[in-house]
Amino acid sequence: MQVNKMQVLYNPFTYIAGIKSLLISIVVVACTAWLCFITGTHNYGLVNINFASDTIFAVYFLEHFIHWITAALILFCFGILFSKSSIRMIDVFGTQGIARSPLIILPVVRLIPAFKSFPVNSPNMYVLFVLHVAMVVWCVALMFHGYKISCNVKAPRLIGSFIAGLFLSEIVARMFIYFLLTL
Amino acid sequence: MEKKLPLKCPSCNESLRVVKLHCEKCETEVNGQYELPALAKLDLKDQQIIIEFVKASGSLKVMAQQMGYSYPTVRNILDEIIEKIK
């Protein structure tokens, strides 16, 4: 079988799912959280980021873990509601975890001293902003393909349920993270 | 060249039926109106998937490994075939 390398970048789930994807997801979330911890990069949900080295590793890990679990759980519920296939929880959690891979790039870039600390409204800040937007778009595209393959929801419900799941997970994850930060 | 069984009418795109069967040995010909079997109505690619499924003893996991695809991808392909057969 010929593997399309470009397809792997935006839809690797044709080839990876199940326990393999779940193990990769755990590694991805742990590595991203570790890099966020050493560079002081907070992810409050998917869109909102903040730069501050102000807490322990567990908080950075939980920020990523909560959003991953919330998004996967909500999309899995939507899959049960809208899909005619017999879907597996392990596929949904595995694909949604791998979909978070692009989020590792921003903290990696922040390892470069020029991006570690910088004045507000500096060119470096805008470079990070553009990079963050691009990585979020890539992440959402991967999440969409992960949902499409693991849940097999068909149009017209596919796009609507995905957008609803994405918004809902963003709200619920932020609520959990806010609760975590107030502890 | 391997001949491909035409499933749709090239003129109006309606499903085709069998009206004539022929014995190469004794030249007997049978005429009538016969519906194609459900699996024969599928295109060759889908028929190959069914063959792979049977070869894998109906295990999607084994089939996914043999085809190099993920489990949900193979399940989705089969679900599409099920929809076509229905």
Contact B69 A1 (CB under 8 A): yes
Contact B72 A149 (CB under 8 A): yes
Residue A146, helix vs strand vs coil:
helix
Residue keyed to tokens 């805008």: A126
Q: For residue A39, what pLDDT is reported? A: 92
Mean pLDDT for all residues in chain A: 91
ipTM above 0.90, yes or no: no
The C-alpha of A32 sits at a distance from chain B's nearest C-alpha, in angstroms, of 25
Q: For residue A9, what pLDDT is reported? A: 81
pTM of the model: 0.87
Mean of the pLDDT values across residues A58-66?
Answer: 92
Mean of the pLDDT values across residues A32-55?
Answer: 88
Amino acid at A12: P
Residues for chain B: how many in total?
86
Instruction: Count the alpha carbons within 13 Å of A30 in the hemisphere toward its beta carbon.
Output: 6
Nearest residue of chain A to residue B67 (CA atoms): A1
A57 touches chain B (CB under 8 A): no
pLDDT tens track for B33-70: 988 888 888 988 999 999 999 999 999 999 999 999 99
CA distance A55 to A33: 12
CA distance A5 to A11: 10
- The rounded Cα B66 to chain-centroid distance in angstroms is 20
Q: For residue A3, what pLDDT is reported? A: 66
Q: For residue B47, what pLDDT is reported? A: 92
Of A3, A85, A88, the CB nearest to B76: A85
pLDDT tens track for B12-24: 999 889 999 999 9
Mean pLDDT for all residues in chain B: 91
Contact B79 A84 (CB under 8 A): yes
Between strands A48-51 and B29-34, the pairing is unpaired
A&B contacts, CB < 8 Å: 42
The C-alpha of B8 sits at a distance from chain A's nearest C-alpha, in angstroms, of 26
Cβ neighbors of B23 (< 8 A, separation 6 or more) are B29
Can you read off the two tokens belonging to residue B73?
Answer: 């991808």
B67 touches chain A (CB under 8 A): yes
Cβ neighbors of B39 (< 8 A, separation 6 or more) are B47, B50, B85
B59 touches chain A (CB under 8 A): no
Contact A149 B73 (CB under 8 A): yes
Percent of chain B with pLDDT over 90: 65
Mean of the pLDDT values across residues A37-66?
Answer: 88
Measured from the Cβ of residue A133, the count of other Cβ atoms closer than 10 Å reads 11
pLDDT tens track for A88-126: 999 999 999 999 999 999 999 999 988 888 888 888 889
Of A8-12, A19-23, A151-155, B42-46, where does mean pLDDT reach its minimum?
A: A8-12
Cβ neighbors of A117 (< 8 A, separation 6 or more) are none
φ/ψ of residue A87, rounded to 5: -90, 155
Residue of A75, A86, A91, A96 to mutate for B, most B C-beta atoms under 10 A = A91
Cβ neighbors of A49 (< 8 A, separation 6 or more) are A41, A42, A43, A106, A132
Mean of the pLDDT values across residues A4-12?
Answer: 80
Residue of B62, B76, B80 to mutate for A, most A C-beta atoms under 10 A = B76
Residue keyed to tokens 């991006």: A115
